[in-house]
Structure formats: structure tokens, C-alpha cells
Amino acid sequence: MSSTPSDDGLLAVLVERLETQRLPRALALKEKLDQGETLNDFDIAFLEEVFTDARNLKPLLQKHPEYEVLASRMMGLYREITEKALENQRQSPSA
């Protein structure tokens, strides 16, 4: 599908945000959870924002299938994070 200049600009901003903010934060959360910790309110708010953005960006991503693999990998990472967070919360003594 053809790309518009506004799509190109938005996609460039989204990729930059992914590289500089979202991916580093997601990897830090994964490391935290891999060490057996649980999510705090700030972490949960971040994940809620990510999932809201993903829903809102779905039409844009459908117009640009070249980003499908990247989006799938990120959603897979967030799925791993949420699954590990639930596991850690169940095993937490304060649960």
C-alpha cells in the first residue's frame, strides 16, 4: 500500500520511540522479572500505555505490512513480560 508523508513521519517517530524508550524499558522489565521481582504501579502503567498504543496503531500497521515483523516481535516480548509478571506475582509471598 502507498505511504503518505504523514505516515512516513509518524512511523519514523514511532520507530525512534521504540529504539530509545520502549525497547530499553521492556528489556529492563524482562530482566527485573527474570530475577524474580514483581511489577510496581509504574511498570503496570507503562504496560497499559503500550497496549493502548498498540490498539490505536493497528490501522496504521495494517497499512504498512513492512512493520508487521517488528510489531509482532515487540508484542511477543510484552507477552513474555506479562506472563512472567503473573508467574512472579503468584509466587510472591505477599500475593
Round to whole Å and give the CA distance between 28 and 34: 10
* Dihedral angle sign, alpha carbons of residues 19, 12, 60, 56: positive
For 18-67, where are the alpha helices, taking DSSP H only?
Answer: 23-34, 41-63
Tell me the mean pLDDT in the region 68-93. 95
- pTM here? 0.88
pLDDT digits (tens, 9 = 90+) for 10-64: 999 999 999 999 999 999 999 999 999 999 999 999 999 999 999 999 999 999 9
> Is residue 94's pLDDT more than 60?
yes
Nine cell digits for residue 31: 530482566
Nine cell digits for residue 56: 490505536
Q: Is 18 exposed, middle or buried (0-12, 13-18, 19+ CB in 10 A)?
A: middle
